[in-house]
Amino acid sequence: MKIVIAGGKSKADYLIRLLLGKKHKLVVINDDADYCAYLSQQHKIPVICGDPCKLYVLDEADIGDSDIIIALKPEDADNLAICQTAKRVYRVRKTVAVVSNPKSVEIFKRLGVNTAISAAYMIAAYIEQMSTVENLVNSLPLDQGNVVMNELMIGQASPVAGKRLCEIELGEETIICCIIRGARIIVPRGQTSIQANDKLLVLSTPQRQSQVIAAIMGRERDE
C-alpha cells in the first residue's frame, strides 16, 4: 500500500520503522526541517519538508493515488484539515487522525475521518501490548478500544496446532474470524483444523486479550 505520514515526531519515527518493515510504500511530510533531515537519514527515504495542511505541499508530495493518510500533527484541527483535504481533494481512500483530546474522536468520525485515535489511549495500549505479548504479530484496537483484533502466527508448539476449531476453548467474547494459510484465506467453521504456520485473526475484548493469546500461543502473561 501507499501510505502518507503527515507530521509527527516520535510517532512518525515509530510508524515509518513499522511500515517499512512491512514493505509499504511511504510518503512522509513534515514541517520541521531538522526532523525531516533526521527521518531521511535514519530511514533512508525521501521526506517532503513542508506543512501538510497546505495544498501545494500535498501536491508536491503527490498523494493522489495513496491508500491511507495518517495525520500526526499536535493540533487536532490541523489533523482534521489534513484528512478532509486528502479525502475530498486527492481522493485518498482511508484517513487516520491521531487526536490529543479523546472527545474529538466521535466528532472526527462524524466529519468523515475513517479512523480517529486518542494519542493517550494509543500509547498506553502500545506499551501494554509490547510488555505483555511477545508473540503478537500485530494488535489493532477497534471501536475505541472496546474490541481488539489480534494477528497471531501459529508455531509447531502452539496448543491449538492440529486441533479443530470446535476442540478449542477460548471462552466468551472471543472469536477466530479468519485463518490465513499461505495465499489462502479461510473463514473457519467448527470442523476447520488449525495448522502450524497458520496466521489467525482473533477478535476479543481487551480484558480477554492476554488469556486468549496464552491459550493460542502457549505462553502465560509475564507478571
Indicate the pLDDT class of residue 223, thresholds 50, 70 and 90.
very low
pLDDT digits (tens, 9 = 90+) for 165-209: 999 888 777 888 889 898 888 888 889 999 999 988 888 887 888
pLDDT tens digit string along 8-44? 988 888 889 888 887 889 999 999 999 999 999 999 9
Q: What is the topology classification, in CATH, of domain 134-217?
A: Alpha-Beta Plaits (3.30.70)
Contact 161, 155 (CB under 8 A): yes
What's the CATH code, domain 2-123? 3.40.50.720
Q: Say yes or no to pLDDT of 88 above 90.
A: yes
- pLDDT > 70: what percent of the chain? 85
Measured distance CA(16)–CA(39) in Å, rounded: 9
When mean pLDDT is compared across 131-140, 156-165, 190-199, 204-213, the lowest value belongs to 131-140
Average pLDDT over residues 89-105: 88
Question: How many whole angstroms separate alpha carbon 80 and alpha carbon 54?
Answer: 13
Q: Is the predicted pLDDT of residue 56 greater than 50, yes or no?
A: yes
| Domain chopping of the chain, boundaries | 2-123, 134-217
Q: Which has the higher per-residue pLDDT, 137 or 177? A: 177
Q: Which pLDDT band holds residue 124 (cuts at 50, 70, 90)?
A: very low
174's torsion region: left (phi>0), alpha (psi -120 to 50) or beta?
Answer: beta
The per-residue pLDDT of the chain, averaged, comes to 83
Tens-place pLDDT, residues 141-150: 555 556 777 7
Average pLDDT value for residue range 127-132 = 43
pTM: 0.58
Distance CA 17, CA 19 (A): 6
Residue 128 confidence (pLDDT): 47
